[in-house]
Amino acid sequence: MVAVTSASAAEQERPARVSGIDKIERRRVALAESALKTLGELGYARTSLREIANNSEFTHGVVHYYFRDKIDLISYCVRYYKTKCARRYDEVVETATSGEELVTGFLAKMTQTLVDETPMHKLWYDLRAQSMFEEQLRPDVEAIDKLLEEMIWRILGRYADLTASMPTVDAPTAYALVDGLFEQAVVGYAANPDKTPDLLTDRLLQVLPKLVAP
Amino acid sequence: MVAVTSASAAEQERPARVSGIDKIERRRVALAESALKTLGELGYARTSLREIANNSEFTHGVVHYYFRDKIDLISYCVRYYKTKCARRYDEVVETATSGEELVTGFLAKMTQTLVDETPMHKLWYDLRAQSMFEEQLRPDVEAIDKLLEEMIWRILGRYADLTASMPTVDAPTAYALVDGLFEQAVVGYAANPDKTPDLLTDRLLQVLPKLVAP
DNA sequence: GACTTTGTTTGACACTTGTCAAGAAATCTC
DNA sequence: GAGATTTCTTGACAAGTGTCAAACAAAGTC
């Protein structure tokens, strides 16, 4: 949690007590989690600070007390979110003892997060699109994109190891391919929640073997 | 142009003269083109009807005269846009006489539209993200996605023909892969306009050969 | 040329938005 | 427990939003 910092935090030149700054951080996290819930449901465009406050246990004044402005809050949310999302497959990568096991575990985790955390993924693709128009979001989005790319690259590297082969595409390419499939699934999930996870699995199974070669 | 219809158009039960309804359609198109320009620059969230009107030769009242409401306008814009975008590679597909020629032409056209029509592509990815939150956009977005999928599938099919091979992935998968790479390029173009086109070309060259096999 | 229809302008409405500030309440310090 | 500090509530603000309607202009109809 402490890894996430805010522009407002920089203004706390005197963190009188450790318990004090810690409490501030706790509030920020609570607000961010509440905000993320609202953002995931409504999307960036339709989410106002008041809406975030209403869906939380705080009033809209508190939001502005802990965050300089809207962008500061959103930015903090994004950074808070990223710390949770990019390590999703680490366990699978570490424990898998065969290529097939890795693929199975990877697909299971991916379809699971598709179903369980749909709002978060919708929000991520929304924010990434917004970052094309709102420069202030770009650094955070780029950082997350990089984390996700590395995540995919770790998986593919391990997959190559286990199958005694080598990746046949570079890291950005591998990420773009997998991400394209996943985004398609996230967008399609709204219209077809039943079939989408299986379709995603099927399509990843078509693609993954092509990304490595002896 | 006539293919694009609007909810407001349905209310015109009496199209007195052909020249009349045609003029209406012309106004709608003019407004849509102006709106698309603004939308491409500002994105969906930050574009208001007044902003659209200000960037056009009309007043904000006219917008509401020709379109029932904001969604009606946006929806019309999206449908108008789609008629232009999905046939971009048709000529290349038809005239290419070898796999290499097809790939070269395809890559040239794709990097060209990436550079020349960046705002339109940014808007498209923005709108697709918005459609996850705004149900009314979903049908139009789905329709365009389907068109684009078919477009990619035509290219891949022709590529397979010319190289005496068969596609090794199905149409939705092929589209998701290529689209993932293209979206990555669109997002990255803002930060790095110089290198992005070449990177996209490079990555597509890594991938395309893997999508067919004898 | 009067009259109806069609198109456009203008201004207003109700509402939401982000931001802020003044003061109440809670907490901490001594 | 008094005083100082932090935290929170409340209400207000200016600006912007989508929507609409009444007045005005243009064009077509007889």
Q: Which chain A positions have a beta carbon within 8 Å of B114's beta carbon? A: none
Range of weakest confidence among A80-84, A150-154, B139-143: A80-84
| Whole-number Cα distances in Å, B147 to A85, A203, B151, B212 | 32, 19, 6, 21
- Between A23-27, A73-77, B34-38, the lowest mean confidence (pLDDT) is in A23-27
Whether the CA torsion A167, A169, A171, A174 is positive or negative: it is negative
Q: Distance (Å, rounded) from C-alpha B70 to C-alpha B63?
A: 9
In angstroms, the separation between the Cα of residue B206 and the nearest Cα of chain A is 6
Q: Is the CB of B203 under 7 A from strand C?
A: no
Q: Looking at chain A, which residue has its C-alpha nearest residue B173?
A: A203
Measured in angstroms, the CA of A6 and the nearest CA of chain B are apart by 23
Task: State pLDDT tens for residues B158-211.
Answer: 999 999 999 999 999 999 999 999 999 999 999 999 999 999 999 999 999 999
Q: What is the pLDDT of residue B125?
A: 96
Phi, psi of A98 (to 5 degrees): -150, 160
Mean pLDDT by 10 residues, chain B (214 residues): 42 41 83 93 93 91 92 90 85 94 96 95 95 92 94 96 96 98 97 96 97 94
Q: What is the mean pLDDT of chain A?
A: 89
Q: Give me the pLDDT at residue A18, please.
A: 44
Of the candidates A116, A97, A142, the residue with the CA atom closest to the CA atom of residue A40: A116
| Residue reference for tokens 């890894």 | A3
pLDDT per residue as tens digits for the range A93-129: 999 999 999 999 999 999 999 999 999 999 999 999 9
Nearest of B4, B135, B11 to residue B65 by alpha carbon: B11
- Taking a C-beta distance cutoff of 8 angstroms, is the pair B205, B107 a contact? yes
CA atoms in the 13 A half-sphere facing the CB of B119: 13
CB of A179 within 8 Å of a chain B CB? The answer is yes
Pick from A122, A123, A119, A124: nearest CA to A143: A124
pLDDT above 90 as % of chain A: 79
Inter-residue contact A7 to A68 (CB < 8 Å): yes
pLDDT at residue A63, as a whole number: 93
pLDDT of amino acid B26: 87
Instruction: Look up tokens 């039943």; give the residue.
Output: A194
Write down the mean pLDDT value for chain B. Answer: 88
Is 80 exceeded by the pLDDT of residue A16?
A: no
Is B199 in Cβ contact with A172 (below 8 Å)?
A: yes
The mean pLDDT of A171-192, rounded to a whole number, is 97
Contact between chains at A169 and B122 (C-beta distance less than 8 A): no
Q: Which nucleotides of C are covered by protein (CB under 7 A)?
A: 5-11, 16-22, 28-29
Through-space separation of residue A205 CA and nucleotide D13 C1' in angstroms = 57
Closest CA to B144 of B196, B179, B107, B109: B179
Contacts of A33 (CB under 8 A, 6+ apart): A80
Query: Who's near A16: CB < 8 A, 6+ residues apart?
Result: none
Helix-helix angle A118-130:B118-130, to 10 degrees:
160
Task: Report the residue from B45, B141, B145 with minimal CB separation from A130.
Answer: B45
Mean pLDDT of A66-72: 92
For residues A190 and A199, give the distance between their C-alpha atoms in angstroms, rounded to a whole number.
14
Q: A213 forms bridges with which residues in the sheet?
A: A166
Structure confidence at residue A20 (pLDDT) = 54
* A9 contacts: CB under 8 Å, gap ≥ 6: A24, A25, A28
Domains and CATH numbers, chain A: 7-81 (1.10.357.10), 86-213 (1.10.357.10)
DSSP state of A11: H
Pairing of β A212-213 and β B212-213: unpaired
Q: Which residues of B touch A133 (CB under 8 A)?
A: 42-43, 45-46, 122, 126
**Mean pLDDT in residue range A66-79:** 91
pLDDT at residue B18, as a whole number: 45
Q: At what angle do helices B138-162 and B118-130 cross, to 10 degrees?
A: 120
Through-space distance between the first and last CA atoms of chain A, rounded to whole angstroms: 42
pLDDT number for residue A179:
98
User: What pLDDT was estimated at residue B179?
Assistant: 98
Nucleotides of strand D lying closer than 7 angstroms to a protein CB: 5-11, 16-22, 28-29
Categorize the per-residue pLDDT at A21 as very low, low, confident or very high, splitting at 50, 70 and 90: low
Give the contacts of A120 (CB within 8 A, at least 6 positions apart). A36, A40, A81, A85
Mean pLDDT along residues A12-38? 72
Portion of chain A with pLDDT greater than 70, in percent:
90
**Helices and strands in chain A, H and E counts:** 11, 2
Average pLDDT over residues A60-86: 89
pLDDT value at position A11? 37
Angle formed by the axes of helices A138-162 and A118-130, to 10°?
120
